Amino acid sequence: MRLRQSVEEYLKNSTLHGARFIVDKDASWLERIFWGTCLMVSWYASWLLIKASLAAFENNAISFVVESSYRDWDTNFPAIIVCESKNMDRIQEVAEQLWGADHDFTLEEVLSEIAFFRGESYHTVHECSGEESTAACFYSNFSYYAQLVRSSCVDSIHSCEWNDKPFECCNYFQRMETELGICYAINSMQAGKYKGPKLNMFSNRFTGPGSLKMELHTEATVFILGNEEVPTLVTPKTDFFIVGPYISFVRYVSKRDIENDEEIRQTSVHQRNCRFPDENILDVHRYYSYSACTVQCRKDRQIELCNCSSHLTPNSPDYQLCNMDGLECLNRNYEDLSVIIAKWSRRRGRKGLVCDCLPSCTEVDITTVFDSKDNIYGHQNPVSKIEVSLIELPTERYKRNLVRGKLDLVVSIGGTTGLFVGASLLSFVEIIYYMTIRPYMSYSNERRRQLRLSQQRAGQ
């Protein structure tokens, strides 16, 4: 009964349009049906528009545009990452240290597979597992033997120049743990556990397109990636090249960046469908990127299948790394671990990894424009000369803009309720007031009135 009275009192005094006619005692039943129908239709239409606004806020809050006001842009040079891919001289040297000069040369193939592990280990499994395994094999601590073989930065990279100005290579090429082993990277967010010196590798109309030159004293794979990206087992072939001794390799690239509006940070990951590098959820690398996410995906799958991960998996504790049994398991499941496929491909029976990885919000588009590969004559030492340059300064870039922010959502909902039902924030406060505070105040006032009447009767 009291609730009914509260509802009637609220409708009589409500700021909602047409509500008072429903409980007006002078109104006919036809008028009440009319206003009741109008209210229901208005509330329903209001709900449909609010629902559409919420859907647009969640799914269409971001827009992409192409900017071409390039005169004042500072373009960051791509990350250049050098990963040794082969070093038979070093393998022979380490093999002699471990097993002596008269060792079984098949062990050098085993050592090579361990040091430059790419998912398969045919010689290692064949020679070191089963009943007829070679006595000199090692069965655990593979990361230690890989580090014995891999060359240091000082032994690998020499004669570095940025825009024809020499600099000390290994002051700026920093150590980087990857699933390909230890690499050395310049201008990468992921390289170096400690903050070392950073080379200013920005290009603009005053400096001209950037150019990096260096000499390599080992066979290596050179990756050209975005500053937050990392080399992986499945990096596209367009993003790297392989060089050996007595080779001169020149690559010209073009680069297109993605700029983000300052308000983009206010949106959720679901809304923008990307992650910023500092929104990291990974164990294997310090900053988020799509490639780093695929490394985490592969590690998780390796642990799921083999209860361990590759000995080259970055930033992983020793207890997670595979021994010989685990390495044999990785070799058996190579097809499941080496290729990334779409979820629908798995349903068709195709083997591979299904990784739910979002792109980075700051990823770049790097395109190879021109490659030149020549032989080097007259050098006594096995050296390769590398040059990576921007062919020109970018004239376009993408920009991610926020078109529907939280304020836009509030304005849209407020305008919708105001238009259809004449409601404001205070209208909903009135509901709380009439349903809770007003009945209590009325009851308290009635009790005080009865108390005064009782006191007056007692005085008489």
Distance CA 124, CA 129 (A): 8
Is residue 306 within 8 A of residue 330, CB to CB? The reply is: yes
Helix (H, G, I), strand (E, B) or coil at 357: coil
For 65-79, 217-231, 382-396, 398-412, which range has the lowest pLDDT when averaged over its residues?
398-412
Q: Which amino acid is located at 415 in the chain?
A: G
Is residue 71 within 8 A of residue 449, CB to CB? The reply is: no
Instruction: Give pTM, 2 decimals.
Output: 0.82
Q: 133 falls in which pLDDT band (50, 70, 90)?
A: low
pLDDT given for residue 413 in this prediction: 81
Among 332, 12, 108, 148, which Cα is nearest to 322's?
Answer: 332
Q: 321 falls in which pLDDT band (50, 70, 90)?
A: very high
Mean pLDDT within 306-323: 92
pLDDT beyond 60 at 14: yes
pLDDT given for residue 2 in this prediction: 59
- DSSP codes joined into one string, 431-454: HHIIIIIHHHHHHHHHHHHHHHHH
Mean pLDDT within 300-304: 94
Q: What is the layout of strands, in order, in the sheet containing 62-67?
A: 62-67, 397-402, 258-260
**Terminal alpha carbon distance of the chain:** 35
Whole-number Cα distances in Å, 7 to 54, 116, 431, 434: 30, 77, 9, 7
Whole-number Cα distances in Å, 139 to 304, 321, 326, 340: 21, 12, 10, 29
Q: 29 falls in which pLDDT band (50, 70, 90)?
A: confident
Percent of the chain predicted with pLDDT > 90: 43
